[in-house]
Amino acid sequence: MKRAQFDKESLLLVISEVPKVLKNLDNIIDTNNEKVDSTEGNFKAEFTNFIELLGKYMSKCLVTISEPYNENLYSVSIDNSVDAGFLPQISSEFYNYLKGFKNCEETIKNVSYKELYKFYVDNHDNINKLYDHMIEFTNKL
């Protein structure tokens, strides 16, 4: 069976949305520092966008190694993407947390804002590392 080819243009389109979402998350954090708990809904919506973009990125990459992307198998997709080099090696705690988002929007609704906020703030460097790796990987194509 012939492997699917990378669609670099669609990968770049997905990746181009990531910094916008991360900037929005950072802006919400800055606003939250001024007006505590006034931004919960916006933060959750932007975090959902981040998780969905990560899923789209993995989907476009995994097809090239004949691995299906399945939202219900989000954790398997993360593992396969790390093993294939589509995602960087980051701590297992970081990826284990992300693996909890099987049905992204519904799952995030059930996670407390404070927990998501803490994860994002504590892992800001890892999230930037993830994004930088996505750019580097796509640019090598």
Tens of pLDDT along the chain (141 residues)?
A: 344 555 778 889 999 999 999 999 999 888 766 565 567 888 888 998 999 899 899 988 888 787 766 666 778 889 999 999 999 999 999 999 998 876 666 678 788 888 999 999 999 999 999 999 999 998 887
C-beta separation of 55 from 74 below 8 A: yes
Domain membership of residue 98 as a residue range: 8-28+38-139
Q: Is 112 exposed, middle or buried (0-12, 13-18, 19+ CB in 10 A)?
A: exposed
- Distance CA(58)–CA(70), nearest Å, equals 10
C-beta separation of 47 from 116 below 8 A: yes
* Other beta carbons within 10 Å of 132: 11
Intra-chain end-to-end CA distance of the chain, in Å: 21
* Other beta carbons within 10 Å of 56: 17
Domains of the chain: total: 1
Q: H-helix or E-strand containing 88?
A: none
Is there a domain that residue 52 lies in?
Answer: yes
Locate 103 and state its tokens: 């049905």
Locate 111 and state its tokens: 């996670």
The pLDDT of residue 2 is: 44
Is there a domain that residue 46 lies in?
Answer: yes
Is there a domain that residue 3 lies in?
Answer: no
Residue found under tokens 């960087």 = 88
Q: How many residues does the chain have?
A: 141
Is there a domain that residue 68 lies in?
Answer: yes
Is there a domain that residue 33 lies in?
Answer: no
Is there a domain that residue 1 lies in?
Answer: no
Is there a domain that residue 126 lies in?
Answer: yes
